[in-house]
Amino acid sequence: METGLRMPVKEALKDRCWIDGNDYHALYQQSLDDSVGFWRRQAQRIDWQHFPQQIRDTHFSPDDLHIRWFHDGELNAAENCIDRHLATNRDGIALLWEPDSPDQDRRQITYQQLHQHVCKLANTLKQQGIGKGDRVMIYMPMIPEAVFAMLACARIGAIHSVVFAGFSPDALAGRIADCGAKMVITADGGRRGGKIVPLKDNVDAALEQAGTDSVDKVLVVNHVGCDTHWFAQRDLDFHEQLALSDGDCPAEPMNAEDPLFILYTSGSTGQPKGVLHTTGGYMVYASLTHQLAFDYHPGQVYWCTADVGWITGHTYLVYGPLANGATCVMFEGVPNYPDDQRVGDIIDRYNIDILYTAPTAIRALMAGGDHCCANSRRDSLRILA
């Protein structure tokens, strides 16, 4: 039995949507009736260095179990998130970064600037011996450098594994040992709700544990300016290294079935398991679902509140929206700091069209009644998901 309240969609809004309920069901039926044709058409939404001819290859016998998508195609995820937008939208805003405290400096990064940051970091990784297939652990606060790190790995074919910055040194160590990471990219610390999280200290503690000796280098962003212990033979200053690197780095051709990233399950029901996502199928799906699920249209400002340490942050803060050329808001803090009007303030500041957040966050704001909406207009907001 349905108990939720349904709000009718205004006709003017409905007319501008990519699809309605009937369109969605028709699209879904197409995917069942002609799966190969459907996904061949969807594959055209991203750029390929070699467009796939083999769309789907599946086999389910006990002695030969495999599921492959677009497996003779070649592409690069970072190229899809950055380079393909440069001809027409190089000055468009890719990231709008909102700091933990509203009193701190904000940042905006164009697609051209994103290209420069990612290429410089990609060359830095190569200079430190990171190449195709190597694993790089990313243990970062919600700052643009976390996105740079993900895309720099993708650009050279390294496999990133992002660990939520709220996890302990033990949790970090276990994931480093499991995937055999060669490098950790982190920050001196992060800010969350007015408090400092000692990320570099956590990395140091993790690397004292057994099984983590695969790590050769730790690349450290000076974000909060807190004191850290420095290991001269291992630790590298992020911005110093980028200043020495070239701003041009050709994107590595990747087979569609090459790994893009490993993301670990939370471990709440057992040992964390590393889930490997390959490049081609993931990028097609991320682009498609970001456009249709959130009804994203070019030029709109989009805010996903998820942390990059979770799959939602990977798909709907980084890869999906950037593949579609969106302007993405990235928020370091929490919805109720310094007060419960923060979300409304951010919506107004950036004229956000689409807000994607968690029910937990909405319920937390609702607990305070209408106070959270008292001083904001929110008249730009079109979709709350």
Q: What is the CATH number of the domain that holds 254?
A: 3.40.50.12780
- Domain assignment present for 13: no
The count of structural domains within the chain is 1
- Domain assignment present for 324: yes
**Nearest C-alpha neighbor of 263 from the set 164, 169, 186, 190:** 164
- Domain assignment present for 365: no
- Domain assignment present for 1: no
Domain that holds residue 154: 34-334
Residue 134 has pLDDT above 80, yes or no: yes
Token code pair at residue 310: 């979770």
- Domain assignment present for 154: yes
- Domain assignment present for 96: yes
Token code pair at residue 383: 């979709």
- Domain assignment present for 368: no
* CA–CA separation, 319 and 310 (whole Å): 13
For 56-77, the pLDDT digits (tens) are: 999 999 999 999 999 999 999 9
Q: Residue 302 pairs with which residues in a beta bridge? A: 328, 354
Q: What is the pLDDT of residue 2?
A: 52
- Domain assignment present for 262: yes
For 273-324, the pLDDT digits (tens) are: 999 999 999 999 999 999 999 999 999 999 999 999 999 999 999 999 999 9
The pLDDT mean for the chain works out to: 96
Q: What is the pLDDT of residue 299?
A: 96
For 186-243, the pLDDT digits (tens) are: 999 999 999 999 999 999 999 999 999 999 999 999 999 999 999 999 999 999 999 9
Residue 34 has pLDDT above 80, yes or no: yes
**pTM of this prediction?**
0.96
